[in-house]
Amino acid sequence: MILAMQRELVMRADEQVAPIKTIYFGGGTPSLLTAKEISDIIDLAYSHYRIERDVEVTLEANPDDIDSKKLLDFRAAGVNRLSLGIQSFKGHDLSIMNRAHNMDQAIKALHATAQIYQNYSIDLIYGLPEQTMADWQYNLDIVQSVGVPHISCYALTQEPQTAMDVLIKKGQMAPLDEVQAQAHYFALLDWADQNDYINYEFSNFGRPGFASKNNMAYWSGQPYIGIGPSAHSYDQKKRSWNKAHNIYYIRDVNNNELPSSVEVLRPVDHFNEYVMTRLRTASGINLNEIEENFGPKVRHGLYQEAQKHLKSGVLTFVQECLVVTRKGKFLSDGIASDLFLLNLEE
């Protein structure tokens, strides 16, 4: 698998359109790799791509995969930012999510990471069945006490055919409560304001200077190249995605064939994606950029369509930008879909 990914990395080098600002190992369990394997991939990227001197190199890690020595080895290999999949510091929460690690491993991994990395992030989940506000606050208190510079927080979703899905349908676990999840999120917003965290994107909170370059690249529509099974790529004109099946992926790459399918994006696709992604960010939808990219008619139509949301208080208009208010935060996806266009003249 690693050899196939390295080969794809070389095959895709001619797709680069700008210097690389961020390298991200994620979407699975990259912390199972050795530091040498990580280093080899990073070195190969440097030899075939233009990479900025202050590139952000992030590795996702599971708490049960790491210890201080492995973290030091990862840092020596070129990883300068860690994303730690904590999810919760409560044992009951971890068992509900069927996580491999326990609360002691979560605490130990966090402290080890904090000692070795200045720039790191942890993932937390809210809105779990039977998760009280005190439980959620307990997680945030630990973040505050350690001084974690960045957190990504997500509401739990009920995915089909998972163990949790089966238990909920059998009545053996309480169903998810959207009101509870919303209350947890608003408590998170209050906590972030009190502790100097900037909510720069709906799910992401960073102290000044610690916003993730990788996250912001996605939400600001920057091009990216995805390597490996199921990886997605985007060059601002088309989107592609690799085969998910490991064997088929390796077979195609070994035959010098890109293992991907491609979709050429229409102007209306670009517009709708712009609306969807920008509404999740603190900067919002810039109407000057809308006019520059799609024309004055589209800008006017969007502003007119936004009026009902401005009047209801879920949007505000600041320096030519439509920005979701606190009241509208949990409704941003619905607001975005209401502003979508069905077609757009080229």
Say how many domains are in the chain: 2
Strand 120-126's sheet: what is its strand order? 20-25, 51-61, 81-87, 120-126, 150-155, 204-206, 198-201
Contact between 175 and 131 (Cβ < 8 Å): no
HEC letters along 214-278: HHHHHHCCCCECCCCCCCEEECCCEEEEECCCHHHHHHHHHCCCCCEEEEECCHHHHHHHHHHHH
Residue 229: inside a domain, yes or no? no
| Contacts by 163-166, CB closer than 8 A, 24 or more apart | 163/98, 164/96, 164/97, 164/98
User: How many angstroms from the chain centroid is the CA of residue 274?
Assistant: 16
Residues 10, 43: Cα–Cα separation, whole Å: 12
Say yes or no: 210 and 314 in one domain.
no
Residue 207: inside a domain, yes or no? yes
Say yes or no: 302 and 185 in one domain.
no
Q: Which residues contact 3 (CB under 8 A, 6 or more apart)?
A: none
Residue 78: inside a domain, yes or no? yes
Residue 90: give the domain boundaries.
Answer: 18-219
Say yes or no: 67 and 187 in one domain.
yes
Say yes or no: 201 and 284 in one domain.
no
Say yes or no: 298 and 213 in one domain.
no
Say yes or no: 107 and 192 in one domain.
yes
Residue 13: inside a domain, yes or no? no
* C-alpha triplet 151, 215, 142: angle, nearest 5°: 5
Say yes or no: 169 and 291 in one domain.
no
Say yes or no: 203 and 283 in one domain.
no
Say yes or no: 171 and 315 in one domain.
no
Residue 254: inside a domain, yes or no? no
Contact between 82 and 117 (Cβ < 8 Å): yes
Residue 245: inside a domain, yes or no? no
Say yes or no: 33 and 176 in one domain.
yes
What three-state secondary structure class fits 53? strand
Say yes or no: 335 and 195 in one domain.
no
Domain boundary among 192, 219, 246: 219
Say yes or no: 181 and 55 in one domain.
yes
Residue 74: inside a domain, yes or no? yes
Distance from first CA to last CA of the chain, Å, rounded?
Answer: 42
Residues 243, 310: Cα–Cα separation, whole Å: 42
CATH of the domain at 66: 3.30.750.200
Residue 235: inside a domain, yes or no? no
Each residue's pLDDT expressed in tens, for the chain with a length of 346 residues: 999 999 999 999 999 989 999 999 997 789 999 999 999 999 999 999 999 999 999 999 999 999 999 999 999 999 999 999 999 999 988 988 888 899 999 999 999 999 999 999 999 999 998 899 999 999 999 999 999 999 999 998 777 766 666 767 777 677 778 899 999 999 999 999 999 999 999 999 999 999 999 999 999 999 999 999 999 999 999 999 999 999 999 999 999 999 999 999 999 999 999 999 999 999 999 999 999 999 999 999 999 999 999 999 999 999 999 999 999 998 998 999 999 998 876 5
